[in-house]
Amino acid sequence: MYFCKENLVFIISFFSIFLFFACKSEKVSIEEIPPMSEQTIEKFAITQTENGKLKMMLEAKTAIIDEKTNIAHLSLPIVKFYDKGNYASTLITEKVDINLDTNDVRGIGKCIVDTANKEHIQTTDLMYNAKKNLIYSDNDVKIKKPGQTIFGTRFDADTKLEKITIKNQRAVFD
């Protein structure tokens, strides 16, 4: 293929004009970005005591702490509850939100609680009220105790599962 000098000048002129208009510079304004009000912590741990005795220990793979609301959003947490310093139960779930002012805990999604008495609770969206030392859920619950399995639609209990209230319960004996 043969290019004459005039065709070459035309092609170069065309691309020069195209690049001039296509790459027209715009004034870029960089605004000041406000500081983030959250922190990310790996291997997060928190311990709560009452009258010098262990009440709760929480460990998580990561935590994002929102400083405005003082809430920690945790991933892959394990929460151990104690009654007067003695181990009572363990909560395992995928995500937890903990209010750092009150130490109230909200398990998000599927939640499993195992107790020192070999009891097992399975529910979703489990709450822990630190002031009342109470765990509860408004969702379906399955509680497996030695010799029986109890199903219900809502429950609340102390962390040792000694005092349990279950709505619409149905029990199956092994």
Domain containing 137 — which CATH number?
A: 2.60.450.10
pLDDT tier at 19, thresholds 50, 70, 90: low
Predicted local confidence at residue 41, as pLDDT:
83
Task: In whole angstroms, give the CA distance from residue 18 to residue 37.
Answer: 45
Residue 5 has pLDDT above 60, yes or no: no
Contact between 18 and 38 (Cβ < 8 Å):
no
Query: Is there a domain that residue 100 lies in?
Result: yes
Query: Is there a domain that residue 144 lies in?
Result: yes
Task: In whole angstroms, give the CA distance from residue 3 to residue 44.
Answer: 70
Query: Is there a domain that residue 15 lies in?
Result: no
Query: Is there a domain that residue 105 lies in?
Result: yes
Question: Count of domains in the chain?
Answer: 1
Query: Is there a domain that residue 26 lies in?
Result: no
Domain of 126 in residue numbering reads as 38-173
Query: Is there a domain that residue 27 lies in?
Result: no
Predicted local confidence at residue 91, as pLDDT:
86
Predicted local confidence at residue 32, as pLDDT:
56
Query: Is there a domain that residue 44 lies in?
Result: yes
pLDDT in tens, 118-174: 889 999 999 989 899 898 999 999 989 889 999 999 999 887 778 889 999 998 988
pLDDT tier at 24, thresholds 50, 70, 90: low
Query: Is there a domain that residue 32 lies in?
Result: no
pLDDT in tens, 29-87: 555 555 555 678 888 888 888 899 998 898 999 889 898 899 989 999 998 989 888 99
Greatest Cα pair distance, the chain, in angstroms, is 97
